[in-house]
Structure 1
């Protein structure tokens, strides 16, 4: 696994899921994890693992490390969180498919988490609605242009920052104490 500041490595996650006969691709599994963490907080390790690889693989060290590093990155004040997608060196069509899978997983996790839409801010509600459109984005081309790459980067960044916003809204940090004693 990469250093926590770098986030998870998709190739390793794919291998861990394959070894455990995982039910989904790495990007979708990571999206599901992020959606569950947004909706229910950090107590979702077992639930996520059961969804992704089943009860018999709850002790999968790699996937448990992915869980831990994802929690850490969602709480990173430097905004180091990133989506688990193929490297920029991979074809744009492959990255677009992975982004769609991540988005599907995230929305599924939010839904499984039982988020009440009526309690969401307008910003978060609109972001979740926009994710439905992102899930339809298609960069199915063998010859991606620079404009295609730029557009994909902007969409990816929109999703990344939106996920952080959802996490922050649904999991507010405890109020800081002043440290003064009266």
Structure 2
């Protein structure tokens, strides 16, 4: 539980909107902490923005992380009659972010809880997708290069969901502990 803008990693993931211009929640916090150069890079390099489920890489500017991976999660309320499609898009956010990090030689990444804020994705379902996609990727040859994957949540309620689901996807060894504060 903590503030993703304070995490030192090769990349933090931004739960972006399709315009890549900043917004509310995690997106706004990352843009504010990174400084105006982040918005300028997004506008200059990606004038059309990006699509839901995609991931793009920028510099991190004033953040302690080295890079920002922007991914656009689904607005759950737009897919209530097509839940499978929402699951596919959210899964794509995690897979593409991890693939992009790997393709750029990054070995540590921090994720927020994508789409669970204003986009309304139920936290329990979103957490399972996040952990399942991360576990699946880490089991591939490309995933072997990662040294650290961090999930950073903002609320105690979200932390409890991640804490309870984590052992199902990442069974603890005797020396593992789950921290309640993001201390990269």
Both structures adopt the same fold (TM-score exceeding 0.5): no
Question: What's the TM-score, normalizing by structure 2?
Answer: 0.32
Bigger fraction of residues in strand: 2
Bigger fraction of residues in helix: 1
Question: What's the TM-score, normalizing by structure 1?
Answer: 0.32
The structure whose Rg is larger is: 1
